Amino acid sequence: MRRGLAVFVALALLLPLALLLMLSLARQWMWPALLPEQWQLRVWRDLLSDTAGIGSAVGRSVLMAVGVGIAATSLGFPTSRQVARHRRRGRLLALIHLPYALSPVVLGVSLLYMFLKWHLAGHMAGVMLAQLVFAYAYAVILLSGFWNAHTDALVDLARTLGAERRQVWWRVLVPMAMPMLSVCLFQTFLISWFDYPLTLLIGSGQVQTLTIRLFEYFSSGDIRLAASCAVLLMLPPLLALLVNHRLLSHSAAPHPDTLDD
Amino acid sequence: MGYMLLYSVGGTGLLSTGWTLRYWHEALQDSETWISLGYSFAIGLVSLVLALALALALQTGLGPQVRRGPLRSLLFVPLAIPALVAALLSVELFGNAGLLARLAYAAGWIARPNDFPDLLFTAAGSGIVLTYVLLVAPFLLLLLDRLARHERVDDLTWVARTLGASRWQAWRRVTLPVLLRASMPTLSVYFIVLVGAFEVPLLVGASYPQMISVLVQRKFSQFDLTSKPQAYVVACLYGVLAMSLLMALFSWCSRRENEGVNH
C-alpha cells in the first residue's frame, strides 16, 4: 500500500511539469480531450528564433538575477557574522524578517515614491535594488546559521598563526562556507528570477522580465506562450535539482531549517 | 514605512492639501479594509493548516518511502515552481475546462464544462487555498521528515510503545507535539508569507473579497488619486499587524526554546 501511495504522489508531482510541456507543445487541445489532439513545435521554434522577442526578457531576467544573487550573498555573508555575534541575536533576526512580513506588494508600494524621486523607478537598477531588500534579508537569515563556536575557534586559531583579517576571510571562512554560500547564491538568484510584484510596481511596465511576459501572455489568453515562459522560468531550479538538490533545500521564504542533512 | 504614514495623513503626495486624518478615517470606516485583512489571515491560516495536515498524513502513509529513490527528489519539484506558474497550473488543472473537469467528463460525471463545480474565483477562496496547499505540502513533508530524524521521533515512539501507548496515542502524544514544536519557527514565517501573497490570489481569487496585497495594489494603481493615500493606510495597517504578529510568534518560540533548555 505504501508503494502504491508513493507511486501516486510521484505521479502527482510530475503532473505539473507534464501539463506545462503539453500546453506549450499543443496545437489544438479542445474540450473535452484529455490529451492535445495535434502537436506542434512552433512556439518553441519561435522562442528559439526569438520572433516573440522573449530573448531580451530572458537576458534581462538572467542579468538581474545574477546581479542580485552576487550582491546579496557577498553583502549578506559579513552581515550575518555581525548578526550572529550580536548580543540580541534573536531579536535582530526577527527584525530582518520585516520585508517578508510586509510582503513584496506593500514594500514595493512604499519604496516606489522614494524610487520615483531618485529616478530609479522604471529602471532595471531600481527593480534590482527592491529585490535586493528581500534577497539581502534572506542571505543574512540563511548565513547566520553558519557561525558557531567552531568557526570562532578556527578564526582565533588562524589569527594566532599570524593570518591577517583578509586572509582569515578568504583562506578560512569563505572556503569553509562554500557549500552554504552556493545555496545562498542560488536562492537569492531565484528570489529575483521568480519575482513578479516588485518588477510590476517598481518597474512600472518599463522593465520587461520573463515573469512580466508570462503574466501578459496569460492574461491575454495566449496559454501556449505563457506555458513556454513557465517552462523557461522553471528551467534553472529544475537543472539545479538534477545537479544537486541541496541547492533547493532552502525555499524562497527564509526559514532556519534545511530540508537536507 | 515612514513615508507611507506621511502620505496617508496628507503630509506629502500629489494631491496633498495639508495634514488630514480623512484618509485614515475613510479607510478605517471602509468595511473592505477590515474584510480584506480578516480574509487574508483566514486564507493564510486555513492554507497552512490544511497543508500541514496533508504533509502529516503523507508522512504517516509513506513512512520510509519519503527518503527513498526518485520520490525524494520529486518532492523538491514544487520548490522550483514560482507562484505565478502555480496560479497558471491551477487554472489549467482545476478550472471549468481544466484537466480535472476533462477527467470528470471522461468518467461520465459531467456533460458540460459548466457542470464542473467552481473551484476557482470563489469568494470562499477555495482556489487560493487549493493552490497553496498543493504547493506547500511537499515542502512541509520534507521538513517534517528531516525534523523527525533530527528529533529522533522513531526512538521516542518506540519508547512510548514499549511503555504501553497505542499507535494512535504515540502519534498524538509524542510525534505530533515534537514535530509541531520543532517546526513552529518555519511555519510562522510561512504563515506570514502566505497572508501577504499576491500572484495566486490575483489570478485565481475572486474580485471580492480580495486578499490584502491585491487590495493594496488595486487601490494604488487606480486612476483616482485619492485612493492612493488609502492604499498607504491599508499597507500601514497590514505592516504593523504582520510585524507584531511575527514578533509575538518569535518571542513565543524563543520562550518555548528556553523552557526546553531549562527542563
Contacts of A260 in chain B (CB under 8 A): 146
Domain ranges across chain B: 2-257
C-alpha distances in angstroms, B107 versus B33, B120, B195? 43, 21, 37
Residue B17: its pLDDT value, please? 46
Residue A189: its pLDDT value, please? 95
Q: B146 vs A237: CB contact, 8 Å cut-off? A: no
Helix A54-85 to helix A174-194 angle, to the nearest 10 degrees?
140
Percent of chain B with pLDDT over 90: 33
Residue B7: its pLDDT value, please? 55
**Grid coordinates 524578517 are at which residue?**
A97
Region B133-150 average pLDDT: 91
- Select the more confidently predicted residue: B210 or A113: B210
Q: How confident is the model at residue B260 (pLDDT cuts 50, 70, 90)?
A: low
Residue A186: its pLDDT value, please? 93
Are the beta carbons of B142 and B78 closer than 8 angstroms?
Answer: no
- Select the more confidently predicted residue: B14 or B160: B160
pLDDT digits (tens, 9 = 90+) for B171-206: 889 899 999 988 888 888 889 899 999 999 999 988
Number of Cβ within 10 Å of residue B110's Cβ equals 18
How much is the ipTM here?
0.89
Cell of B178: 515534537
* Closest CA–CA distance from residue A154 to any residue of chain B (Å): 26
pTM for this entry: 0.89
Q: B82 vs A197: CB contact, 8 Å cut-off? A: no
Q: CB-CB: which of A93, A193, A259 is closest to B146?
A: A259
Q: A255 vs B196: CB contact, 8 Å cut-off? A: no
Q: How confident is the model at residue A254 (pLDDT cuts 50, 70, 90)?
A: low
Number of Cβ within 10 Å of residue B221's Cβ equals 14
pLDDT digits (tens, 9 = 90+) for A222-250: 888 899 999 999 999 999 888 877 777 76
Terminal Cα distance for chain B, rounded: 41
Q: Give the chain B residue nearest A10 (alpha carbons).
A: B71
The phi and psi torsions of B50 (rounded to 5 degrees) equal: -65, -40
Percent of chain A with pLDDT over 70: 95
Interface of A with B in 57-76 (CB under 8 A): none
Region B219-243 average pLDDT: 80
Of the given ranges (A5-14, A141-150, A192-201, B61-70), which has the lowest mean pLDDT?
Answer: B61-70
- In whole angstroms, what separates CA B2 from the centre of its chain? 27
Interface of A with B in 217-256 (CB under 8 A): 218, 223, 226-227, 230, 233-234, 237-238, 240-241, 245, 248-249, 251-256
Residue A250: its pLDDT value, please? 67
Q: A241 vs B73: CB contact, 8 Å cut-off? A: yes
Of the given ranges (A118-122, B185-189, B220-224), which has the lowest mean pLDDT?
Answer: B220-224
A205 in B contact zone (CB under 8 Å)? no
How many Cα atoms within 13 Å fall on the side-chain side of residue B196?
30
Round to whole Å and give the CA distance between B239 and B54: 30
Q: Give the chain B residue nearest A8 (alpha carbons).
A: B71
pLDDT digits (tens, 9 = 90+) for B102-134: 999 888 898 888 888 888 998 888 999 999 999
Residue B263: its pLDDT value, please? 44
Helix B31-62 to helix B176-195 angle, to the nearest 10 degrees?
140
B12 has a pLDDT exceeding 70? no
Contacts of A105 in chain B (CB under 8 A): 196, 198, 213-214, 216-217
- Domains, chain A: 61-208 (1.10.3720.10)
Contacts of B63 in chain A (CB under 8 A): 2
Q: B243 vs A102: CB contact, 8 Å cut-off? A: yes
Give B78's DSSP letter.
G
| Amino acid (1-letter code) at residue A120 | L
Radius of gyration, CA atoms only, chain A: 22
* Closest CA–CA distance from residue A260 to any residue of chain B (Å): 7
Interface of A with B in 104-133 (CB under 8 A): 104-106, 109-110, 113-114
Q: B196 vs A102: CB contact, 8 Å cut-off? A: yes
Q: B1 vs A110: CB contact, 8 Å cut-off? A: yes
A215 has a pLDDT exceeding 70? yes
pLDDT digits (tens, 9 = 90+) for B20-50: 666 666 667 677 888 999 999 999 999 999 9
* Closest CA–CA distance from residue A240 to any residue of chain B (Å): 9
Round to whole Å and give the CA distance between B115 and B109: 9
Q: A103 vs B1: CB contact, 8 Å cut-off? A: no
A54 has a pLDDT exceeding 90? no
Q: Among A112, A194, A249, A251, which would you mutate to test the B interface (most chain B Cβ atoms within 10 Å of its Cβ)?
A: A251
The CATH number of B2-257 is which of 1.10.3720.10, 3.40.50.720, 2.30.40.10, 2.130.10.10? 1.10.3720.10
A140 in B contact zone (CB under 8 Å)? no
Residue B11: its pLDDT value, please? 47
A173 has a pLDDT exceeding 90? yes
DSSP β-bridge partners for residue A39: A26
**Inter-chain CB pairs, A–B, below 8 Å:** 208
Round to whole Å and give the CA distance between B82 and A52: 22
Q: B76 vs A194: CB contact, 8 Å cut-off? A: no
Count Cβ neighbours within 10 Å for each residue of A27-59 and write b for 16 or more, e otherwise: eebeeeeeeeeeeeeebeebbeeeebebeebbe
A89 in B contact zone (CB under 8 Å)? no
Q: CB-CB: which of B76, B78, B88 is closest to A226?
A: B88
